[in-house]
């Protein structure tokens, strides 16, 4: 044998030795040339990449075609990972590091066999480690390597890494939460509540909510997901979808800084916390937890004391409505009621009135559940029914405290209503809220509670019903060509349509939220005149009261909203959504 033949045999032997596993199988099946296989294997080794990934990255074969050929060669099932819901994949069957190192993913457990997705079924090292870790046999399923890489990264990423991605902004700064007790080192949950990524994520959510002028934050756990939503201008918007693995740690952290029992997860809890956002700015938050099927849902209400100091003018009262309200709160005694659904701004309206009455010569006491806005100069009491401090108990105590003005957060029962009415009849100004649709139905609601008609007629001096509508963004709102018939059907009179005004519509720009920015109040301010008192005394219906109020110039909520449309403050669609005809 000559030297050339010997060199050729040596080279061929070296090639066969270098080509192993998948590379050798692809060459044997005629899918790759030996030269390409050797070059790909050399590059994969140099870059510490897998042979399959390097082959696709080099452009020699598309990932889908390669997966198909491997499945054909090894007679193994082929699966498209796009059809798999990542949230439904089994967890904790294999170590995350093993999956990440060998690019494998467990799909399902079947008896004592584990079905595992791979792009390289010749990886004996991976198979042995899976058998040892899971104590089960391995059944391979072939998948495309690029899709497998993405899914492995998504499913094996730790909660800390995922939260760090949420908070990757280097400019992000936050101040400490105040009024929070230090965790007990002996508590088994101490490590949870001090988890750095969770702490950072919660602070970012609170700061973002404040900067986006949100009113509420919703932390919601579900079976396979977790989401955070903000209520901005009355609408809920999904802001983040953190890993579901953090739900327990996040709930524990919120409970600790809200002074709640972190070990109690079976019953709802209410608490408060504060957050510094500057040298002299502190925001209050009201926290409510609720056990659900898949964990505790937590809602955090942002309580901004500055909202009560904006003044009556900023709330959206029309001149005649404002005059009626100011006239009522200057009366020495009587009852003023603010009605509307939850979230309609009743508390801000009441505190705006209290802010006008809050003077050194006036003694003001409030009973709320809980107190939402801190106002210096006002004696505020939090109702605590478990401790026996109810609205009725607080009211009785107020009457022994020489009050001038009393504010009751809500009249919920006959006992509270009876004491409030007696206070209004004996020289005190009483402010409170009720949940009714409009001002006239408030009087019949009180009658249904069991309050005598003569007590209602002699104590109530004014009722304000209200709603909150989104303001149109002044930068992007545009005229809207609304048919004449639609305007009439909405409630406009013919004489109101003869002017030069045009309705506007929401458009949307970088400065607003889908065409809206902020909210404005829509009000029905109804003074209790002698004529309305006569209707009450003869136990008249809400329709009779509404007809009398209309004859006295009191606008309905719809009419008040339509005025806001004429002024270009909000859109017709928004008014129709928040008011009844």
Instruction: Please spell the DSSP secondary structure of 71-115, one letter per residue.
Output: HHHHT--B--GGGS-GGGS--SSS-HHHHHHHT-EEEEEETTEEE
Instruction: Please tell me the distance from the alpha carbon of residue 238 to that of residue 220, in angstroms, as a whole number.
Output: 11
Rounded-to-integer distance, Cα 531 and Cα 523, Å:
21
pLDDT at residue 152, rounded to an integer: 82
Starting at the edge strand found earlier in the chain, the sheet holding 214-221 runs 177-178, 269-276, 282-292, 295-303, 214-221, 226-232, 235-240
3-state SS class at 424: helix
Rounded to whole angstroms, the Cα distance separating 145 from 79 reads 11
Taking residue 88's Cβ as centre, other Cβ atoms within 10 Å add up to 10
State the pLDDT confidence band at 545, using cuts at 50, 70 and 90.
Answer: very high
Pick left, alpha or beta for residue 410 (phi over 0 → left; psi -120 to 50 → alpha; otherwise beta). Answer: beta
For residue 6, what pLDDT is reported? 37
Cα–Cα nearest to 554, from 527, 531, 520: 527
Whether the CB-CB separation of 431 and 408 falls below 8 Å is answered with yes
CA distances 534 to 61, 374, 453, 456, 530, Å, are 90, 39, 10, 11, 6
> What's the confidence (pLDDT) of residue 279?
64
- For residue 278, name the pLDDT band (cuts at 50, 70, 90): low
Residue 187 CA to residue 262 CA, distance in Å, equals 10
Among 262, 104, 236, 288, CA closest to 183: 262
Q: What are phi and psi of 77, to 5 degrees?
A: -60, 145
Q: What is the mean pLDDT of residues 50-64?
A: 85
CA distance 267 to 251: 14
Q: Is the pLDDT of residue 226 over 60?
A: yes
The number of beta carbons lying within 10 Å of the beta carbon of residue 442 is 25
**Neighbour-count burial for 335-355, b at 16+ CB within 10 Å, e otherwise:** bbbbbbeeebbbbbbbbbbbb
| pLDDT score of 526 | 95
- Please report the pLDDT score of residue 15 as a whole number: 44
Indicate whether 172 pLDDT > 50: no
Are 554 and 525 contacting, i.e. CB atoms less than 8 angstroms apart?
yes
User: For position 142, what pLDDT does the model report?
Assistant: 92
Helix 319-329 and helix 346-357, axial crossing angle in degrees, nearest 10: 60
More confident residue, 288 or 90: 288
Residue 292 — pLDDT band, cuts 50, 70, 90?
A: very high
User: CA-CA distance, 187 to 189, in Å (whole number)?
Assistant: 5
What's the confidence (pLDDT) of residue 83? 81
CB 145 within 8 A of CB 60: no
Name the band, by pLDDT with cuts 50, 70 and 90, for residue 133. Answer: confident
Rounded Cα–Cα distance for residues 217 and 293 (Å):
20
Query: What average pLDDT does range 53-60 have in this prediction?
Result: 84
Given a cut of 80, whether residue 106 has pLDDT beyond it is yes
The answer to whether 275 and 254 have CB atoms below 8 angstroms apart is no
| pLDDT bucket at 188, cuts 50 / 70 / 90 | very low
pLDDT score of 546: 93
Is the CA virtual torsion 543, 545, 546, 547 positive or negative? positive
pLDDT at 431: 94
What is the C-alpha to C-alpha distance for residues 40 and 58, in angstroms, rounded to an integer?
8
- Supply the pTM of this predicted model: 0.66
* Higher local confidence (pLDDT), 12 or 569: 569
Cα 172 from Cα 158, distance rounded (Å):
22
Residue 103 C-beta-side C-alpha neighbours within 13 Å:
20
Half-sphere exposure of 305 (CA within 13 A, CB side): 11
Q: Is 243 helix (H, G, I), strand (E, B) or coil?
A: coil
Band (158; pLDDT cuts 50, 70, 90): low
Domain ranges of the chain: 21-162, 213-303, 307-470+521-552
Nearest to 380 by CA among 392, 368, 396: 368
Calculate what percentage of the chain has a pLDDT beyond 90: 33
> Bridge partners of 67?
none
Max CA distance (Å), the chain: 128
Asked if pLDDT for residue 342 goes beyond 80, the answer is yes
Q: Does position 170 have pLDDT exceeding 70, yes or no? A: no
β-pair partners for 463:
337, 526
Q: How confident is the model over 320-335, as pLDDT tens digits?
A: 999 999 999 999 999 9
For 431, phi then psi, to 5°, come to -115, 135
Domain 21-162 listed as CATH 1.10.3720.10: no
The CATH number of 213-303 is which of 3.40.50.970, 3.60.40.10, 3.40.50.2000, 3.30.450.90? 3.30.450.90
Task: Give mean pLDDT, residues 493-518.
Answer: 84
Q: Residue 286: beta bridge partners?
A: 272, 301
Mean pLDDT of 159-187: 48
Q: What is the mean pLDDT of the chain?
A: 83
Confidence at 161, pLDDT banded by 50, 70, 90: low
- Return the sign of the alpha-carbon dihedral for residues 509, 513, 516, 517: negative
pLDDT at 7 over 70: no
How many other CB atoms are found less than 10 A from the CB of residue 209? 22
Backbone phi, psi, residue 105, to 5°: -145, 120
Name the superfamily (CATH) of residues 307-470+521-552: P-loop containing nucleotide triphosphate hydrolases (3.40.50.300)
Phi, psi of 286 (to 5 degrees): -105, 130
């Amino acid at each position: 044998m000559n030297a050339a033949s010997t060199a050729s045999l040596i080279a061929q032997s070296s090639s066969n030795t270098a080509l192993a596993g998948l590379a050798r199988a692809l060459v044997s099946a005629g899918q790759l040339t030996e030269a390409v296989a050797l070059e790909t294997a050399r590059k994969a080794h140099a870059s510490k990449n897998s042979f399959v990934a390097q082959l696709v990255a080099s452009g020699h074969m598309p990932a889908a075609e390669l997966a198909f050929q491997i499945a054909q060669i090894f007679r193994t099932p082929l699966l498209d990972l796009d059809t798999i819901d990542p949230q439904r994949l089994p967890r904790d069957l294999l170590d995350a590091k093993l999956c990440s190192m060998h690019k494998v993913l467990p799909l399902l457990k079947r008896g004592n066999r584990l079905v595992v997705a791979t792009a390289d079924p010749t990886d004996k090292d991976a198979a042995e480690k899976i058998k040892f870790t899971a104590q089960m046999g391995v059944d391979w399923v072939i998948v495309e390597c690029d899709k497998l890489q993405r899914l492995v990264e998504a499913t094996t990423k730790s909660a800390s890494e995922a939260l760090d991605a949420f908070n990757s902004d280097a400019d992000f700064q936050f101040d400490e939460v105040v009024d929070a007790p230090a965790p007990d080192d002996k508590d088994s949950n101490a490590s949870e509540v001090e988890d750095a990524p969770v702490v950072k994520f919660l602070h970012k959510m609170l700061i973002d909510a404040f900067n986006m002028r949100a009113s509420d934050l919703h932390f919601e756990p579900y079976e396979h997901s977790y989401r955070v939503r903000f209520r901005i201008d009355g609408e809920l918007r999904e802001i983040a979808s953190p890993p579901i693995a953090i739900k327990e740690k996040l709930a524990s952290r919120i409970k600790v800084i809200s002074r709640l029992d972190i070990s109690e997860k079976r019953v709802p809890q209410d608490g408060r916390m504060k957050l510094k956002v500057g040298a002299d700015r502190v925001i209050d938050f009201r926290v409510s937890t609720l056990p659900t099927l898949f964990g505790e849902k937590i809602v955090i209400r942002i309580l901004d004391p500055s909202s009560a100091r904006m003044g009556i003018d900023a709330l959206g009262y029309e001149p005649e409505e404002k005059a009626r309200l100011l006239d009522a709160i200057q009366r020495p005694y009587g009852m003023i009621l603010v009605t509307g659904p939850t979230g309609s701004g009743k508390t801000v309206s009441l505190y705006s009135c209290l802010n006008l009455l809050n003077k050194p010569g006036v003694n003001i006491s409030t009973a709320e559940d809980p107190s939402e806005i801190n106002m210096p100069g006002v004696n505020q009491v939090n109702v605590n029914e478990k401790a026996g401090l109810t609205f009725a108990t607080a009211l009785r105590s107020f009457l022994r405290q020489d009050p001038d003005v009393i504010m009751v957060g809500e009249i919920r029962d006959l006992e509270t209503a009876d004491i409030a009415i007696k206070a209004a009849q004996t020289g005190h100004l009483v402010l409170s809220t009720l949940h009714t649709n409009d001002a006239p139905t408030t009087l019949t609601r009180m009658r249904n509670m069991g309050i005598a008609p003569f007590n209602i007629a002699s104590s109530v001096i004014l009722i304000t019903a209200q709603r909150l509508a989104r303001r149109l963004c002044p930068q992007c709102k545009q005229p809207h060509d609304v048919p004449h018939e639609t305007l009439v059907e909405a409630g406009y009179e013919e004489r109101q349509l003869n002017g030069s005004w045009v309705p506007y519509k929401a458009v949307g720009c970088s400065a607003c939220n889908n065409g809206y920015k902020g909210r404005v109040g829509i009000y029905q301010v109804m003074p209790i005149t002698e004529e309305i008192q006569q209707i009450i005394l003869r136990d008249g219906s809400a329709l009779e009261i509404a007809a009398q109020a209309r004859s006295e110039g009191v606008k309905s909520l719809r009419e008040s909203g339509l005025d806001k449309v004429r002024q270009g403050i909000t859109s017709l669609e928004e008014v129709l959504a928040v008011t009844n005809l």
